[in-house]
């Protein structure tokens, strides 16, 4: 059995291609069932994120497995999206295993150390189990990748700090108040940056989360997604009187908030700090507002500085995280290589067990049951000790390598494993 990874990601393909290869959970299960339908592929799993779609497969013939995966995708999408070309990522064997381990740990993400991808790897693992296409090899490989990712995150700072402007803004606001739980939070705008800020705000369990936008329908849609309230743009000044934090990310060519309006709102809420997070270009808040007492104004440039610091910190942690991930992958590969030696190991143990039981049957005819049991335990322990080192050595070699093949063949030859006629019977003249 060998491993195949066939897919595409943000390094190889543009967004349009990745969109065509996106599969919903139900579509993913249908794809997996189609891939394993004729047993050319023994096991399969599909990993889908916003930046990648990857199929992992276990098969004896990797060319046949690749053809099956491409056929299944063509049937589902109407075109051969995984044909050889610059948009495709293709890995086999140990490279495929190492790739999944790096992906799970966020080492192959668009943003180094991304946390969400680990959950998506777990979903792919569960999805394959739900589709009944998960076998012993992929189950072990996904378990190893998840364990490696957890170790990398707990033992290094590979996921430390905020690495998007929106997450940096929310983290900075949290430092002002100590915690955003129970606070009054506001997002002005409904674009992608505003959406990210709203999602991060919602995760902090605020007492109130309001979405303010010129288009009521867009405000309502975003508010529904994050469990907030939609407010009309005309009531923005009223919002300032109550809010603890306001994040702004609109496309307005001119500032929306001026020092006069902010000062008026502050007079109706004395001694309460107001955090303004200006994520827009051009700016949504007049920079002069920074001089107002109890106003903490942070521009996108300041936030990008925090993001750069976090990314630099993560980059420094990359060698340590890589070492952990590759170490765990190495343990999986040792286990996987051992599978190739398993039939020979099993035959070797059966051979020794047959010799042991035959000799006991011949030699212990006049022993009492208690004596027979003691000798039985002794000889079984002796066989296990004798076979422990040879078994370990056999499993440590790649069964497909020249050295591995020679060692397995040597064991078969030395002990006549697989022969229909037992050599001991030949020696006795049978």
**Angle of the 25-35 helix axis to the 116-130 helix axis, nearest 10:** 50
Q: Per this entry, what is the length of the chain?
A: 430
Helix (H, G, I), strand (E, B) or coil at 397: coil
Asked if 360 contacts 376 with a C-beta cutoff of 8 angstroms, the reply is yes
Tokens of residue 102, six digits: 């790096």
The angle at the Cα of 408, spanning 403 to 413, to the nearest 5 degrees, equals 125
- Contact residues for 350 (Cβ-Cβ < 8 A; gap 6+): none
Backbone angles phi, psi at 83, to 5 degrees: -70, 155
Backbone angles phi, psi at 190, to 5 degrees: -140, 20
Determine the Cα–Cα distance for residues 401 and 76; give it in Å rounded to an integer.
38
Identify the CA nearest to 46 among candidates 134, 144, 152: 134
The angle at the Cα of 256, spanning 255 to 261, to the nearest 5 degrees, equals 110
Exposure on the CB side of residue 155, measured as CA atoms within 13 A: 15
Dihedral Cα 211, 213, 217, 223, nearest 10 deg: -10
Identify the CA nearest to 236 among candidates 220, 270, 258, 212: 212
The 89-92 sheet, strands edge to edge: 43-49, 52-59, 2-9, 89-92
Backbone angles phi, psi at 71, to 5 degrees: -65, -40
Determine the Cα–Cα distance for residues 45 and 194; give it in Å rounded to an integer.
34
- Active-site residue identified among 48, 50, 126, 329: 50
Q: What is the CA radius of gyration of the chain?
A: 31
Told to judge if 50 belongs to the known catalytic residues of this protein, a careful annotator would answer: yes
State the residue for tokens 């399969």: 44
Asked if 131 contacts 33 with a C-beta cutoff of 8 angstroms, the reply is yes
Asked if 159 contacts 115 with a C-beta cutoff of 8 angstroms, the reply is yes
Annotated catalytic sites, by residue?
A: 50
């Amino acid at each position: 059995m060998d491993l195949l990874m066939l897919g595409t990601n943000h390094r190889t393909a543009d967004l349009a291609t990745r969109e065509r290869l996106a599969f919903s959970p139900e579509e993913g299960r249908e794809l997996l069932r189609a891939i394993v339908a004729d047993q050319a592929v023994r096991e399969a799993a599909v990993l889908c994120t916003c930046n990648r779609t990857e199929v992992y497969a276990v098969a004896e013939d990797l060319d046949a497995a690749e053809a099956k995966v491409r056929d299944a995708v063509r049937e589902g999408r109407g075109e051969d999206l995984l044909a050889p070309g610059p948009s495709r990522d293709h890995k086999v064997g140990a490279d495929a295993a190492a790739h999944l381990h790096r992906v799970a740990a966020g080492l192959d993400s668009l943003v180094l150390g991304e946390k969400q991808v680990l959950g998506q790897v777990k979903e792919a693992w569960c999805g394959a189990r739900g589709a009944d296409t998960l076998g012993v090899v992929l189950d072990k490989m996904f378990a190893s990748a998840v364990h490696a990712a957890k170790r990398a995150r707990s033992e290094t700072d590979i996921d430390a700090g905020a690495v998007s402007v929106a997450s940096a803004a929310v983290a900075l606001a949290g430092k002002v108040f100590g915690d955003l739980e129970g606070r009054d939070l506001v997002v002005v705008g409904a674009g992608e940056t505003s959406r990210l800020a709203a999602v991060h705000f919602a995760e902090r369990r605020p007492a109130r989360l309001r979405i303010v936008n010129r288009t009521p329908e867009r405000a309502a849609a975003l508010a529904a997604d994050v469990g907030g309230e939609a407010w009309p743009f005309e009531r923005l000044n009223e919002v300032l009187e109550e809010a603890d934090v306001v994040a702004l990310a609109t496309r307005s060519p001119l500032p929306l908030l001026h020092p006069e309006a902010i000062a008026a709102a502050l007079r109706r809420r004395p001694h309460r700090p107001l955090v303004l997070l200006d994520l827009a270009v051009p700016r949504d808040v007049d920079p002069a507002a920074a001089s107002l007492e109890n106003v903490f104004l942070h521009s996108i440039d300041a936030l990008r500085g925090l993001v750069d610091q976090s990314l630099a910190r993560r980059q420094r942690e990359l060698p340590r995280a890589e070492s952990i991930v590759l170490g765990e992958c190495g343990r999986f590969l040792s286990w996987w290589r051992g599978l190739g030696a398993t039939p020979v190991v099993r035959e070797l143990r059966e051979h020794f067990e047959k010799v042991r039981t035959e000799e006991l049957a011949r030699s212990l005819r006049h022993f009492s049951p208690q004596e027979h049991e003691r000798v039985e335990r002794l000889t079984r322990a002796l066989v296990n000790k004798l076979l422990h080192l040879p078994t370990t050595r056999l499993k440590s070699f790649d069964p497909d390598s020249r050295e591995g093949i020679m060692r397995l063949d040597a064991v078969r030859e030395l002990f006549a494993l697989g022969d229909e006629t037992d050599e001991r019977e030949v020696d006795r003249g049978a």
